[in-house]
Structure 1
Amino acid sequence: MIEAGSLIRSLSGRTAARNYHTYVINEIGSAIVAGRFPVGSVLASDTVMMETYGVSRTVLREALKTLEAKGLVEARPKVGTRVSPRSRWNYFDPQVLAWHFEAPPDPKFHASLFEVRAALEDLGVRHAARLRTAEQVRLLKYWAHQTASADENIEQFGLACLEVHAIIADASHNELVRSVVGVVELTLALALTRNGEEGARYRKARVAILEELVDAVEKGDTEAAALALGRASAADQERIASRS
């Protein structure tokens, strides 16, 4: 499991410290998602992979167990470790989602992301507008202000946006809605790539939308909050489509 915000932090070139276990997981997992290890293919033998990644058999086996838990591979006796069909992948796993950031653009997959995001966030923000606490409203205002003051700092802007979405999810008091944060982070990261005039306009529009969202949540206006969050999602989707 990766920490929320790790993908957005990587946009500025910052990478988290990693051990051999996470290194192997990332190398194999990202290769599977990108299609370098196609669905149905059998991974190389333990001996070959140990040499390729420079790790022990214990580290390799633990990494493969983690990937199997995420649904990406399955070990078969006398066959080896085979890449699982995409239908078995755990797409709500933040790490699996993050690996899609470097994968070739897939408009169909992006559309699926936004369909799921819209459904869960609409439910979540309607509950949040009714159930939010004073402390959550304070935090929403703080992070919305951080987006406005980020200027050209893409990492600060993205992390502040993500915090707003995460607080909305928490305020919904629905634990399953919280799982949408990984989807939001991937779509935000995709939308924030390729800076410039178009990127600046996108961020300015996003700030205004978040301010409307926070105001609606504070007032307990469920319809206005849902509309604002829907516009935020639409802005991200339009941005991604423009760079495909």
Structure 2
Amino acid sequence: MAQIENLNLSQQVTNELGRAIIAGEFDGSSGLPTEAQLCEQYGISRTAVREAVKMLAAKGLISSRPRQGIRVEPENNWNLYDTSVLKWMLESSPSLYVLKEFLQMRLAIEPQAAALAAKHGTAEAIDQIAQACNSMEEAAQDDGDIHTPDLAFHTAVLLASGNRFFFQLRDFIRTALNVSIQHTTPAKGSKKAIAEEHMKVYKAIMNGEPERAKTMMTYMIEEAMAFIDAEINKAKAG
């Protein structure tokens, strides 16, 4: 029996089943175990199982209807903007392909966000970008962790854009960046170079140069895309 700790039981079951669905352990033909089977498998109450089922249904992974049981939904119905779904996808085996799609989306959003920040960013919002860049430079000089300020930089640019729709993507972008950075930072090989590239975006925003801000952000994302493509090709060749 896969006994689960008595802490946030529904969320833990949601995580277990969500990962399993995305990994392909359950699909539309097999479905999920019944409520009774899940209660026995995890050693939890029917109430906790039902709450987990509701969470997974809200994420588009399953549907549950009378006389139908719990059915796994096709991948096209999954809510890819849900940070848990994205995290589970990135943890699965084809994560490089998910990262590539994610970078393609970033190309459609972040360069424009940088341009808008250069046009309309408030002094306070732009100062947050500056703080993130300064933290990246300090970490690079000390060979420290630039991961956290890197995430802060991209969130700050979305905020400075003044576009509420862009800013609401911050958790989605941070979730995928957490994985993406683990691939691209070692490939880049120089934390100082990474910090310098982010600083160029910041300076363009600070100087009110939207086209340059857009170009520099595009360059960073396209470079990351090249690293991911190289890893994909290497995996294919191996």
TM tier, shorter chain?
0.7 to 0.9
Query: Any unmatched runs of 5+ in structure 2?
Result: 1-6, 233-238
Q: Deviations over 1:53-98 (max 9, x none)?
A: 2321111111110111111111132221111111111111111111
Structure-2 residue corresponding to 1:221 = 209
Structure-2 residue corresponding to 1:189 = 178
2:198 paired with 1:210 = yes
Contact 2:87–2:176 under 8 Å retained in 1: no
Structure-2 residue corresponding to 1:5 = none
- Inter-CA distance 40–119: structure 2 relative to 1 (3 Å threshold): farther
2:123 to 119, 134, 137: 134
| Length, aligned pairs only | 224
2:90 paired with 1:97 = no
User: How far, CA to CA, are the matches of 2:28 and 2:163 in structure 1?
Assistant: 34
Greater RCO, 1 or 2 (C-alpha within 8 Å, sep 6+): 1
Structure with larger Rg: 2
Structure-2 residue corresponding to 1:79 = 68
Q: Deviations over 1:131-151 (max 9, x none)?
A: 111112221111112222334
Structure-2 residue corresponding to 1:88 = 77
Contact 2:116–2:162 under 8 Å retained in 1: yes
Question: Taking structure 2 as the reference length, what is the TM-score of the superposition?
Answer: 0.84
- Inter-CA distance 243–62: structure 2 relative to 1 (3 Å threshold): same
- Inter-CA distance 159–39: structure 2 relative to 1 (3 Å threshold): farther
Once the two structures are aligned, what percentage of the paired residues are identical?
A: 28
Question: Taking structure 1 as the reference length, what is the TM-score of the superposition?
Answer: 0.82
Worse-matched range after superposition: 97-106 or 83-92: 97-106
Contact 1:40–1:84 under 8 Å retained in 2: no
CA offset at residue 215 of structure 1?
0.5
Query: Any unmatched runs of 5+ in structure 1?
Result: 1-17
- Inter-CA distance 83–141: structure 2 relative to 1 (3 Å threshold): same
Task: Quote the RMSD (CA, aligned, Å).
Answer: 2.3
CA offset at residue 122 of structure 1?
2.5
2:160 to 154, 163, 171: 171
- Inter-CA distance 242–221: structure 2 relative to 1 (3 Å threshold): same
Worse-matched range after superposition: 171-180 or 182-191: 182-191
2:100 to 108, 111, 129: 111
1:60 to 49, 68, 73: 49
